[in-house]
Amino acid sequence: MILELFKLEDKRISDLNVIFCDDAFLLTINQEFLKHDDYTDIVTFELSESDETNGEIYISIPRILENAISHEVSKVEELHRVIFHGCLHLCGYNDKLKNEKDTMRKKEEEYLKRYSSRSST
């Protein structure tokens, strides 16, 4: 589904690493590279200077577990949502402004539905 997401978003991908970590590790990355001093579920980096995506997605497993409870979804669904979220960042989507967040949420839902419809057949 990840390759399909990039294809549907008209982006080429050469390399993608997903790194699972704990809150402390991701907080350090957030502070060091983004100058944010708060916990987060995901940090995404585009490493390529070409038109092909070469990215890293860092995901905090404790945040995924907590978010799943607060959003009343399964841990697996929340993990998929966050992975799609990181991929969408690599495709150029932002989520700082309200309209950007709304667009990002719609895209996440779209890809979650596509994925769940494929895995249930």
* DSSP-based three-state secondary structure for 35: coil
The predicted-structure confidence for 16-27, as pLDDT tens digits, reads as follows 999 999 999 999
Q: Lowest mean pLDDT: which of 59-68, 69-78, 112-121? A: 112-121
For residue 121, name the pLDDT band (cuts at 50, 70, 90): low
The predicted-structure confidence for 73-107, as pLDDT tens digits, reads as follows 999 999 999 999 999 999 999 999 999 999 999 99
Q: Using alpha carbons, list the distances in angstroms from residue 65 to 19, 43, 106, 109.
A: 16, 16, 22, 19
Q: Report DSSP state, residue 29.
A: H
Domains in the chain (CATH in brackets) are 2-119 (3.40.390.30)
**Has residue 118 got a pLDDT over 90?**
no
**Has residue 41 got a pLDDT over 60?**
yes
pLDDT for res 120:
62
pLDDT for res 28:
96
Q: Residues 33, 20, 64, 60: is their CA dihedral positive or negative?
A: negative
Higher pLDDT, 72 or 51: 72
**Has residue 119 got a pLDDT over 80?**
no
For residue 65, name the pLDDT band (cuts at 50, 70, 90): very high
| Rounded Cα distance, 43 and 72, in Å | 23
